[in-house]
Homo-oligomer: A and B are copies of this chain.
Amino acid sequence: MPLMQRIRIKDVAKEAGVALSTAALALRDDTKLREETRRLVRDAAARLGYVYDRSAAVMRSGKSHTIGLLVCEITNPFYAELTAGVEEALDEAGFVVMLANTSESVTRQRRMLERFREQPVDGVLIMPATGTPPSLLEDLERWQMPHATVVRGFRRGAHTGPDNRAGTRMATEHLLALGHRRIAFLGGLVKNSVSRERWDGYFRAMCAAGLRPEQLFCRTDIGEAAAVAESLPADGPTALVCYNDSVAFGATLGLLRSGRMPGRDVAVTGFDDIREAAAWFPALTTIRVSPREIGRASARVLLERIADPASPPRREILAPTLVVRESCGAHPRWKG
């Protein structure tokens, strides 16, 4: 194989018979140049097999068209889908994603953030690891690094996420409308902004109905949720508002294990509407928040901050919708 050396703008300019800066302008398709000249240069570039070298552009311009993405747990389908949305929207805007999976480790998150500070990234999108101190925002501001939080957020700063309170409120009200009175909230053992908000939505709906709220604690884990649901007493709750779909999946599995049919014997609702929810048995009634949309929206929010760092940080709260399927018992399958 001929070990050809890399072609630079300089070479293209020589080939096209123009100055280096003319060739550079032409390759960026700058309208300051005559269309004819641009074509001349483009052809020369194609002939030589010129490949743009971003590293030099980044160094000179200070803009890398790259953003750092800190995902709290990419193996969680919800965040994986969200990541796909972020990547998709950024790609459309000509940006590329530097991925860092923190696995819910604040230490690792810190390390990756330091790394992104050195790395030429134009901004960072953060799904904070559980236990992240709010001082993170101050650090980012001090570092003058454009940033936005996703799903999990703080009081202030650019943020994109679902309306968690409204979601669990809708789920709870739906179960109330179906006649349930002993409704428990399952999940939320680990405290973060999301679990607080989801609990709160359920809590308010129960209080508004004059009923006593009850929390059954478990981690966000199918196995743990299954164990809790399996050992639920017969005179326990007749309906479970679950922290998210994974917990709801666990709940249905636990109920099945103890000989109860989810939807008929105990109603179950999820949260997130991840892909598996519709195919589940029984199909899961849940709150749809469309992680892909959140991802796309968060990318827009961050790009806005990068474009205009002085503007006030935008907070975009996406309205969820209730998706009624089988697991809540409202479906014809359980009627009659």
Q: Which residues of A contact B (CB under 8 A)?
A: 1, 51-56, 58-59, 64, 66, 69, 74-75, 77, 80-81, 83-84, 87-88, 91, 96-101, 103, 112, 115, 117-120, 141-142, 222-223, 226, 249-250, 253, 256-257, 275-276, 278-281
Contacts and interface: CB of A to CB of B under 8 A. Distances in A.
B74 A119 contact: no
B118 A53 contact: yes
B1 A141 contact: yes
Contact of A75 (B55, B226, B275, B279): B275
6 contacts: A53-B120, A55-B64, A56-B59, A74-B87, A96-B119, A222-B276
A314 to B, nearest CB: 20
Contacts of A55: 55, 58-59, 64, 120
Q: Which 3 A-B pairs have the closest CB atoms?
A: A222-B279, A55-B120, A99-B99
Contacts of A1: 141-142
A257 B281 contact: yes
A75 B64 contact: no
Copies in the complex: 2
Contact of A115 (B96, B223, B226, B257): B96
* Contact residues of A: prevailing secondary structure: helix
A80 B75 contact: yes
A1 B143 CA distance: 11
Contacts of A115: 96
Residue among A55, A66, A100, A222 with most chain B CB within 10 A: A55
Contacts of A75: 77, 80-81, 84, 275
A28 to B, nearest CB: 13
A84 B96 contact: no
For A80, A88, A276, A280, which residue has the most chain B Cβ atoms within 10 angstroms?
A: A80
A88 B99 CA distance: 11
Given A58-B59, A75-B77, 4 more contacts: A54-B119, A54-B120, A55-B58, A99-B99
A96 to B, nearest CB: 6
B99 A51 contact: no
A183 to B, nearest CB: 24
Nearest to A117: B51
A99 to B, nearest CB: 4
A148 to B, nearest CB: 18
Contacts of A279: 222-223, 226, 249-250, 253
A117 B52 CA distance: 8
B98 A97 contact: yes
Contacts of A53: 118, 120
